[in-house]
Amino acid sequence: MPLKTDPELREFLRKLPKTETHLHIEGGLPLELLREVRPSMPEPASWAHDFKYRDFAHFEQELLDWGFAWHTSPEQYHRSAKMQFERHLDLGVRYVECSFASGVAEFGGLNAREIFLAVKEAIPNELEVRIFMGIHHTGCGPEMRPVIEDSLTWEGFAGIDLHGPEDLPLEPWTAEIWAAARLAGKFTKAHAGEFLGPDFVRRVLDEVGVQRIQHGIRAAEDASLIEQLVTQGIALDVCPISNHKLSPGVTLENHPIRELYDAGVKVTVSTDDPISFGNNLLDDYEALHHYRDFSRDELVQLVRNGLDVALVEDELRNVWLAELAEHEN
């Protein structure tokens, strides 16, 4: 059964000034580019609406295979990012937060700063983009630590995000580096609560001090954690279709974003890894309408949440908010 769709709603969504605050550059690789290096690459089986990954390893293995096949140089990153950003503009996106994986420097032999600069140079004038580096739980060994510390001095570099399998141990350097990043004026995030439960979400908040959570959907299982998120104003960058295809036990029909939203948690909507999930941002918004009964006004509120958390001056934010208000009933 394909994803439900409504052309009129889609057009409404396209016009809203939206944000995308949870996007992996490697996972956003356009299929056309992948086919330049793998001409016989079929449409991924995971693009089917009812597809479910067996586990994170299944997902990661595929993504690494595709991501590393293309992202072999700063120039390839540049082309990939440029095409992704152009597509954002076509969908009415005004603001993007994306990350590249520090693992490409660690395992792929690339220079992390050159990747950052290549992505930065791909940003079109009409789009605001903030670039993060994703670091996995064991990604700060002797070779990577100087690279990560250096990144905190890069001009225009937005911050860091904790990536990768959630069940690997949280190592002691994490809190230290995350604190150093904030001290350097960078923004800090972590992936949590996509696989592990509320305790891990609480740990990245309390021990690592992250300012925003990627996914965080399992926070819905714990009322006191929900209260903490609301009180501290911590937003969750949620990716419904990604969770539908990857998070154990989660489907669009039972997605906890509805409960989190109703409890007053600031949730935003993003795509995560479109090469793996076959989605774009409009698909994710539409899915919330069809499968979790988000009304048009509630979809507008989700867009507003994204504008609220965007790392921009209030002057620009207010321009977008005023534009968004024109689309409300």
Write down the residue that tokens 């290096």 correspond to: 37
Residue type, 261: Y
- Classify residue 3 by its DSSP letter: P
Q: How many residues touch Zn ion (CB under 5 A)?
A: 1
Cβ distance to Zn ion smaller for residue 12 or 270:
270
Q: Catalytic residue, from 194, 207, 253, 313: name it.
A: 194
Token digits for 215?
A: 């996914």
SS3 label, residue 70: helix
Interface pick for Zn ion out of 272, 283, 284, 286 (rule CB under 5 A):
272
Stretch of 5-13, 200-208, 245-253, 270-278 lying at the interface with Zn ion (CB under 5 A): 270-278
Rule CB under 5 A: say whether 20 interacts with Zn ion.
Answer: no
Comparing CA positions, the residue from 176, 189, 120 lying closest to residue 149 is: 176
Decide: 184 and 152 in contact? Cβ < 8 Å: yes
Identify which range of 90-98, 164-172, 173-181, 267-275 contacts Zn ion by CB under 5 A.
Answer: 267-275
In whole angstroms, give the CA distance from residue 58 to residue 314: 41
* 194 a catalytic residue: yes
Judged by beta carbon, residue 272 or residue 284, the one nearer Zn ion is: 272
Here's the x/- map for Zn ion, 62-101, by CB under 5 A: it reads as ----------------------------------------
| Binding letters toward Zn ion, positions 215-254, x by CB under 5 A | ----------------------------------------
Helix pair angle (173-183, 144-151), 10° resolution: 20
In 21-128, alpha helices (H) = 31-37, 56-70, 74-90, 103-106, 112-121
Q: Please say which residue, 21 or 76, places its beta carbon nearer to Zn ion.
A: 21
- Closest separation in Å from C-beta 51 to Zn ion: 17
Task: Give the torsion through C-alpha atoms of 246, 50, 298, 310, to 10 deg.
Answer: 40
Interface with Zn ion (CB under 5 A): 272
Active-site residue list: 194
